[in-house]
């Protein structure tokens, strides 16, 4: 038998795996709602922005990219707010309420009458994202035990990556066949299914009754927390600068038909993300710092490869796979880093990882839209993405250097033990 977090009953390995799969199913649903817009961007632009579409397809796609930014900003706002204010609540109850919110806001987005309303509901749908992953990551880490925390986090994130292999391409096909509104109704069904699974599988775990909002917010006093947020928010923007414009990269740059190549490109990215997430979880359990540095270098190299060979269909698909793999190595490593540097504010630290990554999502998507809107073409976001990744790498190097220097300083200034040993 294996013991879970304090206050939980002893659980068998089979029950633990069942609970982890239920949590990962939530990641699958969240990955579907977050990323399905990329494959359906031209369809949404044509449907919701007909006037702009008639003048310029590029301008309409750039405007439709604001959907990605709206959802990401919802994550940025909601993750610290919900996680900090709800740290006292039992974790299972909180996760179930978050899944109810996901379901209702996704249905509302599917029924949105115009583009501004769609943006509003996509923002609202993003609010519970970070809190769900943050609390689910804490539960998974407690179930896995010491020495396997990053693998527990990676398991929850596996649902997100599998969504890009199965969920996003399948729902993209639904959207292309029956309309983008039908696609979002399918996503709402996934959230309802996850609600049932979490209700049945997840053990009861208490919140922290002694935790206060002020105590959770104290995490922001630690400079290393800000460095970790910065490296994720800016460095991961490079991935989203490319991923937001996958569909037009395939159709306008490689000159491939939308079917079946856009879904295949999304599958390639999803497989890469799945592989990278597993590598990141195992690697971060050995060394968080080395994993982050190596991953950023890999993202830069794979983005450059994709940009150089985007006109060649096979190499474009390969490049998208490699970018997805390299980028996903970063996520469990930064999640673990945030939990390490936040000290007692674990709930908000676990959620802030997703605020940071979705700030990168918003940054990459919006800046990518700017360069596309300037007429620089659909490869321009890739070169922009390399610049963002370089900045993320610089932040990581500065953070780790300061930490090593302060550690050596503490070692040198530690008082000498002058006690005479007894014999």
List Cα–Cα distances, 352 to 5, 26, 79, 81, 98, in angstroms. 21, 18, 6, 10, 16
Q: Give me the sign of the Cα torsion angle 316, 318, 323, 324.
A: positive
306 in Cβ contact with 348 (< 8 Å): no
* Burial group, residue 423, by CB count within 10 angstroms (0-12, 13-18, 19+): exposed
Q: What average pLDDT score do residues 334-347 get?
A: 73
Residues paired with residue 11 on neighbouring β-strands, in sequence order? 2
The phi and psi torsions of 197 (rounded to 5 degrees) equal: -65, -45
pLDDT band at residue 335, thresholds of 50, 70 and 90? confident
pLDDT for residue 148: 64
DSSP per residue, 171-187: HHHHHHHH-HHHHHHHH
Residue 171 in this model has a pLDDT that exceeds 80:
yes
* Burial group, residue 31, by CB count within 10 angstroms (0-12, 13-18, 19+): buried
pLDDT band at residue 216, thresholds of 50, 70 and 90? low
What CATH superfamily classification does 8-405 receive? MFS general substrate transporter like domains (1.20.1250.20)
The phi and psi torsions of 244 (rounded to 5 degrees) equal: -60, -30
Q: What average pLDDT score do residues 12-38 get?
A: 85
User: Alpha-carbon Rg of the chain, whole angstroms?
Assistant: 22
Residue 153 in this model has a pLDDT that exceeds 70:
no
Helix axes 288-308, 380-413, angle to 10 degrees: 160
- pLDDT, greater one: 135 or 305: 305
pLDDT for residue 297: 95
pLDDT for residue 145: 64
CA distance 173 to 258: 10
Residue 296 in this model has a pLDDT that exceeds 70:
yes
Residue 29 in this model has a pLDDT that exceeds 90:
yes
Q: How many CB atoms lie within 10 A of CB 411?
A: 8
Q: What average pLDDT score do residues 279-300 get?
A: 89
The phi and psi torsions of 243 (rounded to 5 degrees) equal: -65, -35
Q: Where do runs of H (alpha helix) occur along 202-257?
A: 213-217, 223-235, 237-243, 246-248
Planar angle of CA 287, 134, 120, nearest 5 degrees: 130
Residue 390 in this model has a pLDDT that exceeds 50:
yes
pLDDT band at residue 417, thresholds of 50, 70 and 90? very low
pLDDT for residue 304: 95
Residue 277 in this model has a pLDDT that exceeds 70:
yes
Residue 133 in this model has a pLDDT that exceeds 60:
yes
pLDDT band at residue 150, thresholds of 50, 70 and 90? low
In tens, the pLDDT along 62-107 reads: 788 788 778 878 887 887 788 777 767 788 888 999 999 999 999 9
Planar angle of CA 362, 32, 392, nearest 5 degrees: 35
pLDDT for residue 236: 82
316 in Cβ contact with 307 (< 8 Å): no
pLDDT band at residue 1, thresholds of 50, 70 and 90? very low
132 in Cβ contact with 26 (< 8 Å): yes
Q: What average pLDDT score do residues 384-398 get?
A: 93
Average pLDDT of the chain is 82
pLDDT for residue 5: 45
Reply yes or no: is the peptide bond before residue 186 cis, omega within 30 of 0.
no
pLDDT band at residue 317, thresholds of 50, 70 and 90? very high
54 in Cβ contact with 190 (< 8 Å): no
158 in Cβ contact with 278 (< 8 Å): yes
Instruction: Using the CB atoms, write b or e for 182-212: b if 16+ within 10 Å.
Output: ebbbbbbebbebbbebbeebbbebebbeebe
Taking the whole predicted model, whether its pTM rises above 0.85 is answered as no
Q: What average pLDDT score do residues 313-329 get?
A: 92
């Amino acid at each position: 038998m294996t013991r879970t977090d304090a206050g939980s009953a002893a659980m068998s390995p089979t029950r633990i795996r069942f609970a982890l799969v239920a949590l990962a199913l939530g990641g699958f649903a969240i990955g579907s709602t977050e990323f399905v817009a990329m494959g359906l961007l031209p369809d949404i632009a044509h449907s919701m922005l007909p006037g702009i579409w008639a003048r310029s397809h590029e301008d309409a796609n750039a405007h439709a990219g604001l959907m990605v930014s709206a959802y990401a900003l919802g994550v940025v706002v909601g993750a610290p707010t919900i996680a900090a204010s709800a740290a006292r609540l039992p974790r299972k109850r909180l996760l179930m309420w978050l899944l109810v919110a996901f379901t209702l806001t996704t249905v509302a987005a599917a029924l949105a009458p115009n583009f501004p309303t769609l943006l509003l509901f996509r923002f609202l749908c993003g609010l519970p994202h970070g809190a769900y992953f943050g609390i689910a990551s804490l539960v998974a880490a407690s179930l896995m035990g010491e020495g396997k925390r990053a693998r527990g986090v990676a398991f929850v994130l596996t649902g997100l990556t599998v969504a890009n292999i199965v969920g996003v391409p399948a729902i993209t096909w639904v959207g292309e066949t029956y309309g983008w509104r039908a696609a979002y109704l399918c996503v709402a069904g996934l959230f309802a299914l996850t609600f049932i699974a979490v209700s049945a599988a997840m053990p009861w775990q208490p919140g922290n009754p002694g935790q206060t909002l002020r105590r959770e917010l104290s995490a922001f006093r630690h400079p290393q927390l800000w460095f970790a947020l910065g490296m994720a928010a800016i460095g991961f923007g490079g991935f989203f600068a490319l991923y937001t414009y996958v569909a037009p990269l395939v159709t306008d740059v490689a000159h491939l038909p939308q079917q079946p190549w856009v879904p295949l490109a999304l599958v390639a990215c999803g497989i890469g993300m799945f592989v990278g997430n597993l590598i990141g979880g195992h690697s971060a359990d050995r060394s968080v710092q080395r994993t982050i540095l190596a991953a950023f270098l890999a993202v830069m190299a794979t983005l450059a490869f994709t940009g150089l060979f985007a006109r060649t269909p096979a190499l474009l698909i390969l490049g998208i796979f490699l970018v997805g793999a390299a980028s996903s190595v970063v996520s469990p490593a930064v999640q673990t880093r945030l939990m390490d540097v936040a000290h007692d504010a674990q709930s908000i630290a676990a959620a802030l990882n997703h605020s940071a990554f979705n700030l990168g999502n918003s940054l990459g998507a919006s800046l990518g839209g700017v360069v596309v809107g300037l007429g620089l073409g659909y490869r321009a976001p890739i070169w922009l993405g390399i610049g963002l990744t370089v900045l993320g790498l610089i932040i990581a190097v500065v953070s780790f250097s300061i930490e090593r220097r302060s550690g050596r300083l503490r070692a040198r200034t530690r008082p000498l033990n002058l006690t005479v040993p007894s014999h």
